[in-house]
Structure 1
Amino acid sequence: MRTVLSVVVLAAGIGVALPAAAATLSLNERLKGASVVQVNQVPASGASLIGRVEQFRNGDSLIRLGEGEGEPVVLTLCNGKAHMNLDARWPGAPAAKTQEEKQMRAYGLYMAVMGGMAMAQSIVGDTLEVPAEGQAATVQRETPWAYGKEQYAVRVSNGADDVLRIKVTKTGNTTRTPSSGRDDVVSTDDDKAARLAELEPVGTSRELVISAAPMAASVTDDMSLKGWMSASGKGGATVGAARKASGDCAR
């Protein structure tokens, strides 16, 4: 399992004109080159989820959950195999007793962060208009669902501190298919209602906070991996030991 920030763009966008000073960039490339990407996910109701992906010059990456520094969840050394923190927890995450259950919980937390990032990317698209430094602008985006489109407001803020904020908020749904007739088999009113119920509620938001600060060289070798498990079965008590055991950029 690797930390992959580049996602196939699924969304078709419609944009409101931005100021002439706006620049165009590739969101995928900006994410790949970021030292830190924070993902703030706020549902229409319930607990929010804060995740951070830290990337290093040697190919290391570390995913954390929570406020501040956060709790480490998944570590990848030099784009190699993943190491998972089996003791990682988050409010609402399932209880886990066995090694397998803890592994699945850690993987679920990983997917919650990466899936949220991928969802935001798919809505925004790869080509992004960025306003002048210190400015912000909002564009509209739409993505298809079975019977219409989901509508989003995308607010792009270009901070003077080399931080780019992209907040995606769901604003509505459209339904274009007319009511079904007696001979309809698939596109029935019940199916339409069921599909609509599966969509995320209006008001759900995701924000990517992308730092362009220089990447650190690597995760420190003395970081403890007590309670962690390596996907390759070759872990260690510390990052340094795991590097040597796994062969992923061993020093």
Structure 2
Amino acid sequence: MRGLCRAGLLAAVFAAPAACAAAPPDCARIEHMLECMSWIETRADGNGHADYLGRVERYAGDETRVAIDNGGHRIEALLLGNGRRFVKGEAAGALPEDPAAFVGLVATPPLLWLSMLLEEGARWPAPGAPLERVASTDWAYGQERYRVRIEASADAGYAIEIVKTETVSTPEPAPTPDPSGTFATISTDEDRAARLAELAPVGMRIAARVRLQPPSPPLPDDFSLQGWTPQPGAAAATLGEARRASP
């Protein structure tokens, strides 16, 4: 991947220490999106699976709220600054044991795609001057081609769109006759078809909206936690009660 410090990515998602994240991040660079964002909303469709919508919002006081809607199954996670974790809803499949990893489920996909498709050190565009790129990645028998567009939005954020436009397959070399008959010609047709089936279909689209600003104002103390399950710890009636409790 170009332009992405993997340790920095993991640090941003899981709050783990990382050498490359020791210095304050340059928030004008796209690769530091996870460290600098106050919220992100990610949508994926056209990939042959259920449509996906995820949102992360960070609040003052080191608190984060995550919502994921995957094919009609909605789950939310609330991560408090004192270490308390609460989950609400039903997931479509297996989820991370640590609710904090939900942040990565939403925020990591667009960043990983951008790191593969943009040049190292790419920066957020200015209003009225969208960043547009046509880029490709390799697969076993050719290339996948994508269109990338990032535009500054009116709410001091950015709109990101990544669309797969083409799958290119290199022709299979013509078999070379072996007059002696000692060596059999091996076809790659079956392996080529299997690898092709693993690729995202043409038209696959990932869209995200990102705001790079200070965290949002904190949620109110009287925010109800009815229906929220602590993970782990004791239940709480309100957010204020959960904030005052020990993890």
Q: Deviation per CA, 1:86-128: give whole Å up to 9, x if none.
A: x347xxx47xxxxxxxxx4797x99888445422211211632
Aligned residues: 210
Q: Aligned AA for 1:192?
A: R
| Aligned residues with identical type, % of pairs | 29
State the TM-score, normalized to the length of structure 1.
0.66
Q: Deviation per CA, 1:213-249: give whole Å up to 9, x if none.
A: 44224333322222222322344232233334443xx
How many Å apart are 1:143 and its aligned residue?
Answer: 2.8
**Which one is further off, 109-118 or 233-242?**
109-118
Aligned match for 1:59, one of 35, 41, 62: 62
How many Å apart are 1:199 and its aligned residue?
Answer: 1.4
How many Å apart are 1:5 and its aligned residue?
Answer: 8.1
On the 8 A contact 1:62/1:76 being kept in 2, the answer is yes
On the 8 A contact 1:5/1:118 being kept in 2, the answer is no
> Counterpart of 1:220?
220
How many Å apart are 1:203 and its aligned residue?
Answer: 0.5
> Counterpart of 1:199?
199
How many Å apart are 1:34 and its aligned residue?
Answer: 2.1
Q: How many angstroms apart in 2 are the aligned matches of 1:111 and 1:42?
A: 22
Distance change >3 Å, CA 45–CA 194, structure 1 → 2: closer
Q: How many angstroms apart in 2 are the aligned matches of 1:82 and 1:144?
A: 40
Aligned match for 1:161, one of 131, 152, 155: 155
Matches within 5 A, 1:138-157: 138-157=132-151
- 1:4 and 2:7 aligned: no
**Which one is further off, 49-58 or 232-241?**
232-241
Aligned match for 2:111, one of 105, 121, 125: 121
State the TM-score, normalized to the length of structure 2.
0.67
On the 8 A contact 1:25/1:127 being kept in 2, the answer is no
Aligned match for 2:81, one of 73, 78, 93: 78
Larger radius of gyration: 2
Distance change >3 Å, CA 175–CA 81, structure 1 → 2: farther
- 1:170 and 2:164 aligned: yes
Q: Aligned AA for 1:31?
A: L
Q: Deviation per CA, 1:144-168: give whole Å up to 9, x if none.
A: 3343332211001112431111111
Structure 1 counterpart SS, 2:122: strand
- 1:30 and 2:36 aligned: no
On the 8 A contact 1:123/1:141 being kept in 2, the answer is no
On the 8 A contact 2:34/2:107 being kept in 1, the answer is no
Q: Aligned AA for 1:202?
A: V
Distance change >3 Å, CA 144–CA 80, structure 1 → 2: farther
On the 8 A contact 1:235/1:245 being kept in 2, the answer is no
Distance change >3 Å, CA 105–CA 132, structure 1 → 2: closer
Matches within 5 A, 1:80-99: 80=83, 82-85=85-88, 87-88=89-90, 93=92
Q: How many angstroms apart in 2 are the aligned matches of 1:237 and 1:84?
A: 14
On the 8 A contact 2:12/2:35 being kept in 1, the answer is no
Unmatched runs of 5 consecutive residues or more in structure 1: 7-23, 95-103
Q: Deviation per CA, 1:118-142: give whole Å up to 9, x if none.
A: 2221121163243331232310232
| Superposition RMSD in Å | 3.7
On the 8 A contact 1:38/1:52 being kept in 2, the answer is yes
Q: How many angstroms apart in 2 are the aligned matches of 1:243 and 1:158?
A: 36
Distance change >3 Å, CA 178–CA 146, structure 1 → 2: same
Q: Aligned AA for 2:124?
A: V
Q: How many angstroms apart in 2 are the aligned matches of 1:88 and 1:3?
A: 26
Q: Aligned AA for 2:223?
A: M
Distance change >3 Å, CA 237–CA 141, structure 1 → 2: farther
> Counterpart of 2:8?
none
Q: Aligned AA for 2:207?
A: E
How many Å apart are 1:63 and its aligned residue?
Answer: 1.1
How many Å apart are 1:208 and its aligned residue?
Answer: 1.6
Q: Aligned AA for 2:228?
A: W
Distance change >3 Å, CA 235–CA 164, structure 1 → 2: same
